[in-house]
Amino acid sequence: MTASSDFPLFQINEDHEAIREAVRDLAAAKIAPFAAAVDEEARYPQEAHDALVASDFFAPHVGEEYGGVGADALATCIVIEEVARACASSSLIPAVNKLGSMPVILGGNEEIKRKYLTPLAAGETSFSYGLSEREAGSDTASMKCRAKLDKSAGDDSWVLNGQKSWITNAGVSDYYTVLAVTDPDGTRGNNISAFVVEKSDEGFTFGEKERKLGIKGSPTRELIFDNVRIPGDRIIGAPGEGLKIALRTLDHTRVTIGAQAVGIAQGALDHALAYVKERKQFGKNIAEFQGIQFMLADMAMELEAARQMVYVAAAKSERGDADLSFFGAAAKCFASDVAMKVTTDAVQLLGGAGYTRDFPLERMMRDAKITQIYEGTNQVQRIVMARQLLKG
């Protein structure tokens, strides 16, 4: 691991500040007011979706050459962080648009990039990512989903069969990056390819919505493929390269989950700070008790450390630094643990009120939990970190 002696670790410029201010205002006006109802009713945050499209924060990472705004990795993290501060479910809109489309950006040819990134940048559709399977979560290489080359129709199309589990924004998105085994006898990890599957493809259906602890506004469903024919020009990269592209994608997008975690934690700290200055016990505001002050100080200190790690990792993602795997995993792991701790402490600071749905803290605590699990559990992040450490 390097301390990047040739580069600043990260630099917040005027554009980043302007983006933060714009997203913060947008989230306060058009996302926060619906966050409780979105959670309570477990419904997709359409208001946030529309507001993000209207303001160009829907898929900010897409480059200008495809009609996007070309936000750098740090700016994209700031968008996700500020949306998550108000509503974690809504922050999955820009986050998963990046996750779903990153394989195309990293591994696709110009034709496939133009075809799929342009409508995404325009906000016409979302983009989901289908890697996990019910029996292949942490062990992604053991996936069973199959795509078989079929030349019978006179072209090089693929026939896809199997399922993917736990897919975020499934059913909402029109486009899906899907990983499937294309060479069942090939070496593990080198026998998987990536494809773009469209919602309208015949034989492609969705399972029921999962009933979840948190991020209830973001639908999580299975993708089910029954002889789905995928034209040959929808393969991303070369046959056999899919898993490598999918894992490189995660190096970049774990940073955005770190940003989501920072945003959730900041939202919880903001609410807790406001509450302790108002709530009176023993004849004083509870903020005057040193026991409360020490908790607040620890929460803010850990949160700031998490934010700095996420921004360093974002800068590494933007530069494509060789140690991104370590930093992306470390930022996600650390920030998600901080989010879990800060949101739990925030509930504690509100006492009984924190445990009720009259305040957003219990929702934030439930939402924080997922950041320790998806895009690789925090145990898997430690495997990724250790692998890069041992490689030297």
Residues that bind ligand FAD (CB under 6 A): 128-132, 137-138, 166-168, 212, 215, 220, 370, 373-377, 379-380, 383
> Cα–Cα–Cα angle for 247, 252, 254, nearest 5°?
85
Rounded to a whole number of angstroms, the minimum distance from the CB of residue 152 to ligand FAD is 30
Of residues 3 and 390, the one with the C-beta less far from ligand FAD: 390
Catalytic option among 82, 241, 302, 375: 375
| Beta carbons of 160 and 197 less than 8 angstroms apart | yes
Of residues 159 and 170, the one with the C-beta less far from ligand FAD: 170
Of residues 222 and 345, the one with the C-beta less far from ligand FAD: 222
Rounded to a whole number of angstroms, the minimum distance from the CB of residue 88 to ligand FAD is 11
Q: Is 375 an active-site residue?
A: yes
Residue 209 is classified by DSSP as P
**Cα-Cα end-to-end distance for the chain:** 8
Distance separating alpha carbons of residues 311 and 57, to the nearest angstrom: 18
Of residues 222 and 302, the one with the C-beta less far from ligand FAD: 222
120 φ/ψ angles, rounded to the nearest 5 degrees: -65, -45
| Beta carbons of 181 and 143 less than 8 angstroms apart | yes
Distance separating alpha carbons of residues 89 and 72, to the nearest angstrom: 22
Rounded to a whole number of angstroms, the minimum distance from the CB of residue 218 to ligand FAD is 7
In the bound state, the residue with its beta carbon closest to ligand FAD is 137
Of residues 138 and 281, the one with the C-beta less far from ligand FAD: 138
Rounded to a whole number of angstroms, the minimum distance from the CB of residue 374 to ligand FAD is 4
Distance separating alpha carbons of residues 41 and 47, to the nearest angstrom: 14
- Residue 227's nearest CA partner among 122, 153, 312, 282 is 153
Q: Long-range contacts made by residues 22-29, C-beta under 8 angstroms, separation at least 24?
A: 22/55, 22/57, 23/55, 23/57, 23/78, 23/79, 23/82, 23/83, 24/82, 24/85, 26/51, 26/52, 26/55, 26/57, 27/82, 27/83, 27/85, 27/86, 27/87, 27/90, 28/86
Tokens 């998490």, located at residue: 306
Rounded to a whole number of angstroms, the minimum distance from the CB of residue 32 to ligand FAD is 22
- Active-site amino acid positions: 375
